[in-house]
Amino acid sequence: MIGLQRRRQKLDPWRIGLGVFTLVFALFIMAPLVVVIVVSFSASQFLSFPVTAWSLKWYGHIFAYQPFVDGLITSFELAFASTALGTVLGVPAALALGRRKTGWAGLITLLLLSPISIPALVLGFALLYYLSALHLGSSFVALLIAHTVVSVPYVTRTVLAVYRANSPVLEEAAAVLGAGRWNVFRHITLPLIKPGIFAGGLFAVLISLDNLPLSFFFGSASTNTLPVVMLSYLQNQFDPSVAAVSTVQMVIALVLLLAVERAYGIKRLISA
């Protein structure tokens, strides 16, 4: 009887339908990425699919075309600088809000996390008007401020989740034994929240590297990020070098996500 029930569960049409839907949806999402990767190895002078001849020359063109190299360097500088500032601002905020259960604490938390939910174009317009009033305009400083605004929520979210998941008993015990606030933070709190800082920082780097709207608003001829350079390139050229650059970006994102998974775990971040 138990075996019959198990067979019925295995043959449940709803489960089968859900599995088929999930598979089709995954293929629908992955198909454009696979096409981009395949086209990046094309020997053709223009974007075309299916590929008839294969070559690695477009990967060499990435380094031969100086704006791609400059844009990649600017993107990395911006990503790591904004992540560092986001960590400096986000970690203290998470620690200050982590043990408080008041309505004000919840309201401030929502405010800090709001840049994630606001559309990038709306955020870009708002920051453009505000930073222009401060006479910053299109500059690396303006780019850094804009990307930091987006980095803070990711760092705050992960650190807050990790900090709340740990009991305050260890911190209280250290304080009772005579440790000062700095020693408590250095020897107890910081080791506990390190996974959250690491994961939030890597997510902030990923978002910054791939952020087109904010970079498009504040970039200049000397501070254009790689996504902006790619968009400008496509306005005049239509060769597979853009597919090669996109593949390199995907590889970088995959490596960073694997680092997050290995260090902390994507499932824990989602469920936290």
Provide the pLDDT for residue 263: 66
Q: For the whole prediction, is pTM greater than 0.85?
A: no
Sequence-ordered alpha helix ranges (H) in the chain = 2-10, 13-39, 57-64, 66-98, 103-117, 120-133, 140-165, 169-176, 181-184, 190-209, 213-218, 226-234, 241-263, 266-271
**Domain extent listing, the chain:** 2-39, 58-271
CA distance 211 to 43: 29
How many C-alpha atoms does 128 have within 13 Å on its Cβ side? 14
CA distance 261 to 149: 25
For 158: left if phi > 0, alpha if psi spans -120 to 50, otherwise beta; the answer is alpha
Q: Please, which residues bridge with residue 42 across strands? A: 54
- Tell me the percentage of the chain whose pLDDT exceeds 90: 4
Residue range 2-23, pLDDT digits in tens: 554 555 555 677 788 888 888 8
* CATH of the domain spanning 58-271: 1.10.3720.10
Residue range 108-130, pLDDT digits in tens: 877 888 888 888 888 888 888 88
Least confident of 28-32, 124-128, 137-141, 260-264: 260-264
